[in-house]
Amino acid sequence: MSAGAVAALLGRSRRPSQARARRDLAHRLLRSAGFDAGAAILAFWVVCALFGPAFAPRGALAPSLLATNLPPSAAHMFGTDQLGRDVLSRVIVGARSILEIAPLATLLGTVAGTALGLVMGYVGGLLDVLVSRLVEAVLALPVVIVALVFIVAIGPSGATLVVVIGFVFAPLVARTVRAAVVAERELDYVASARLRGESAPRVMFAEILPNVLAPVLVEFTVRLGYAIFAVATLSFLGFGVQPPTPDWGSDIAANYGVIPAGYWWETLFPALAIASLVVGVNLVADAVEAVTSS
Amino acid sequence: MRRSAPGERPPVTAYLSKRLGLALVSLLLLSMVVFFAGQVLPGDAGRAILGPLAAESAVRHLDRQLGVDRPLVVQYARWVSGAIHGDFGRSYQYRSAVAPFIWSAALNSLKLAALAFVIVVPLGILGGVVAALHVGRPLDRAISVLGLSGSTVPEFVSGIVVIEVFGLWLKVLPVTAATPPGASLPTQLDHLVLPAIPLVLVLFGYIARMARAGTVEALDSDYARTAVLKGLTRRVVIRRHVLRNSLIPTIAVIATQTGYLIGGLVVVETLFDYQGIGLLTVRAATARDFPMLEAGVLTIGVVYMAATLAADALTSVLNPRIRLAGEP
């Protein structure tokens, strides 16, 4: 057997145990009560986001000037808002915008951050130092403030939110991935891959990446919770999804001024929807973190 | 144990001056990002202020007055040197100096933040210690679920709920934070309790989690076991040996939470219409008032970094493992 073949065996020997570990991971996740509860909440809102317009009782956009600010009743279970729109329908259909923007932003941040972290950890040097400084500068401010500066420069829209939140998350993800890569870099399978003559990108993406997927997965689920927090908050501040598109954050912004007049239902139901979604996502993230770290 | 070898870490002053240097570099980077993000604004500042119908000559004149016709690097240098001297330029919206707005808004935010801290620090530590003394039992679970929910739900969401419960239905607290000018301190406080609650909810979970982890670790330590074997009562062991050690990480985490607190201030001040640095920054962003926006963001950055540095200093003074590690 040639030295190359031995090295190849060494390099590949982790694969079967990885597949088993992944199956085991899924089993342990499903057994966790927090994961099940969180996944159920998340699934409910995903169904609303996908099929909401089909089963929402009334048009979410149709105003009715004869039925403004109606309290909850049999006809309008969550009441109507200042423009006479059905609050229940807007809550159901409003799941769509946040569930489009937040996962896309998280995905963008995770993919970009993972690539960056792999290069920082494996190549090191000046790039590593520069990006680490940049991460500290980004961390020096609340995410909402950084996002606000960029959104004002670019102009508010759903697409802007995706890019800006993804951009803010990327260095944060990169920092975690970098730490994992630095620990992997010195292991035998990386040395053997290098001895086989594999190129640096191949070593990073084909050899190291599969072995740092657990922290990447944890980062994704944790960041998804932060992304939902950030999207809802920026929409509430008027820098996200613009009216009349149904959106929980911007609906609350449009109607919180009439709370002192007693019209509580226009803001309470979208607020409860946001609360349930973030708690659901965080229950899932906590379970994923607990299972992968044990 | 995290005991470090002698000489592995520098003494506390060297450690802190290194941290200070890093913070200054970060601050410089931040000021560049903020300044150049502001320059991406489509169209020029004079046109944005005067509107589409103004004469070209008037726009150019205003541009020259504002200094926005100079090269970017010159503008940046002027802005930084001004900011160091407390001069943030003139606001586009109010046509007057930015600095006085920043100071009075920062003072208002400080009042709200201080009230939130005064409520949440003892509450969070108490929650964490109680949870640690009941590890694995229902009370521990309840505190951790409350903390998790509180820290993950956006402040305006919990804000809406507390406004409706305490302001609208129970009618025990005023719904807005704005008080008539010259209101007495108790009146001001009365108006600030409701806005402080969402901030307390967001911070409670983190502080309680840190206090719980520190207490659990301390309860499990050799010195706590020795103290018990020595015949000290549980109460004395907890007060003298456990709490003293478990509060160090908690103090550090409290200062790092300043960032979340400020992020929360932006939202809470908007929701309650309270004239703080957060509302000022949001209004400036909406009005595309870049001198005001840049000043607001930079002020927030400086406060955050100062708090982080103070946390580092406090931790290293309180924690002999860091303080003494550099001495032979």
Condensed to tens digits (0 to 9), the pLDDT of residues A176-192 reads: 888 888 888 888 888 88
Instruction: Please list the residues that pair with A80 across neighbouring strands.
Output: A86
Q: Give the best residue of A256, A277, A286 to mutate against chain B (max B CB count within 10 A).
A: A256
Residue B62 pLDDT exceeds 70: yes
Asked if B180 and B167 touch (Cβ cutoff 8 Å), the reply is no
Asked if B250 and B218 touch (Cβ cutoff 8 Å), the reply is no
B164 closest CB neighbour out of A139, A154, A259: A259
Nearest-angstrom CA–CA distance, A197 and B123: 59
pLDDT, tens only, A255-271? 888 888 778 888 889 99
Q: What integer is the mean pLDDT of B181-188?
A: 72
Query: What confidence score (pLDDT) does residue B320 get?
Result: 55
Query: What confidence score (pLDDT) does residue A141 get?
Result: 67
Nearest CA of chain A to the CA of B317: how many Å? 23
Structure confidence at residue A12 as a pLDDT band (50, 70, 90): very low
Q: What integer is the mean pLDDT of A216-235?
A: 89
Question: Could you tell me if A278 lies within 8 Å of chain B, comparing CB atoms?
Answer: yes
- How high is the ipTM of this complex? 0.79
Structure confidence at residue A4 as a pLDDT band (50, 70, 90): very low
Asked if A274 and A224 touch (Cβ cutoff 8 Å), the reply is no
Instruction: Please list the residues that pair with A86 across neighbouring strands.
Output: A80
Question: Could you tell me if A43 lies within 8 Å of chain B, comparing CB atoms?
Answer: no
pLDDT, tens only, B25-53? 777 877 887 777 766 655 556 666 666 67
Residue B207 pLDDT exceeds 50: yes
Nearest-angstrom CA–CA distance, B251 and A137: 23
Residues contacting B87, CB < 8 A, separation 6+: B97, B99
Contacts of B155 in chain A (CB under 8 A): 233
For the range A219-223, what are the long-range contacts, defined as Cβ-Cβ under 8 Å and sequence gap of 24 or more?
A: A219/A110, A219/A113, A219/A173, A219/A176, A219/A177, A220/A106, A220/A107, A220/A110, A221/A281, A221/A284, A221/A285, A221/A288, A221/A289, A222/A285, A222/A289, A223/A106, A223/A109, A223/A110, A223/A169, A223/A172, A223/A173
Query: Which CA distances in Å does A13 have to A10, A193, A204?
Result: 5, 12, 17
Q: Is B255 helix (H, G, I), strand (E, B) or coil?
A: helix
pLDDT, tens only, A53-70? 777 777 666 777 777 777
Whole-prediction pTM: 0.81
Query: What confidence score (pLDDT) does residue A228 get?
Result: 92
Helix (H) or strand (E) holding B309: helix B290-318
Query: What confidence score (pLDDT) does residue A160 get?
Result: 86
Alpha helix locations (H) across B163-289? 185-219, 222-229, 234-236, 243-256, 258-272, 277-286
Phi, psi of B88 (to 5 degrees): -100, 15
What one-character-per-residue DSSP string does B274-285 give?
Answer: --SHHHHHHHHH
Nearest-angstrom CA–CA distance, B117 and B323: 27
Phi, psi of B65 (to 5 degrees): -60, -45
Q: Please, which residues 125-184 of chain A have a Cβ atom closer than 8 Å to chain B? A: 133-134, 136-137, 139-145, 148-154
Q: At what angle do helices A213-236 and A87-123 cross, to 10 degrees?
A: 140
A153 closest CB neighbour out of B38, B153, B260: B38
Positive or negative, the CA dihedral A83, A86, A92, A96 is negative
Structure confidence at residue B324 as a pLDDT band (50, 70, 90): very low
Nearest-angstrom CA–CA distance, A195 and A190: 9
Q: Give the best residue of A135, A149, A265 to mutate against chain B (max B CB count within 10 A).
A: A149
Question: Could you tell me if A67 lies within 8 Å of chain B, comparing CB atoms?
Answer: no
Nearest CA of chain B to the CA of A17: how many Å? 32
Q: Please, which residues 207-246 of chain A have a Cβ atom closer than 8 Å to chain B? A: 225, 229, 232-233, 236-239
Dihedral in degrees, nearest 10, Cα atoms A147, A148, A149, A154: 90
Query: Which CA distances in Å does B175 have to A251, B161, B187, B202?
Result: 19, 12, 13, 20
Where is pLDDT greater, at B67 or A231? A231
Nearest-angstrom CA–CA distance, A69 and A72: 9
If you search the block for the tokens 């590593």, which residue do you land on? A128
pLDDT, tens only, B257-301? 776 787 788 889 988 888 889 899 888 888 878 888 888 888 888
Residue B323 pLDDT exceeds 50: no
C-alpha B271 chain-centroid distance = 18
Question: Could you tell me if B165 lies within 8 Å of chain A, comparing CB atoms?
Answer: no
Instruction: Please list the residues that pair with B97 across neighbouring strands.
Output: B90
Percentage with pLDDT > 90 across chain B? 3
Structure confidence at residue B249 as a pLDDT band (50, 70, 90): low
Where is pLDDT greater, at B43 or B145? B145
Asked if B210 and B256 touch (Cβ cutoff 8 Å), the reply is no
Structure confidence at residue B325 as a pLDDT band (50, 70, 90): very low
Dihedral in degrees, nearest 10, Cα atoms B21, B22, B26, B27: -30
Phi, psi of A72 (to 5 degrees): -55, 135
Residues contacting A146, CB < 8 A, separation 6+: A138, A164, A168
- Closest residue by Cα to residue A259 from B201, B268, B161: B161
Residue B199 pLDDT exceeds 50: yes
Nearest-angstrom CA–CA distance, B192 and B268: 11
pLDDT, tens only, A229-245? 889 999 998 888 887 88
Question: Could you tell me if B269 lies within 8 Å of chain A, comparing CB atoms?
Answer: no
Contacts of A142 in chain B (CB under 8 A): 259-260, 262-263, 266, 300, 304
Nearest-angstrom CA–CA distance, B275 and B272: 9
Query: What confidence score (pLDDT) does residue B89 get?
Result: 76
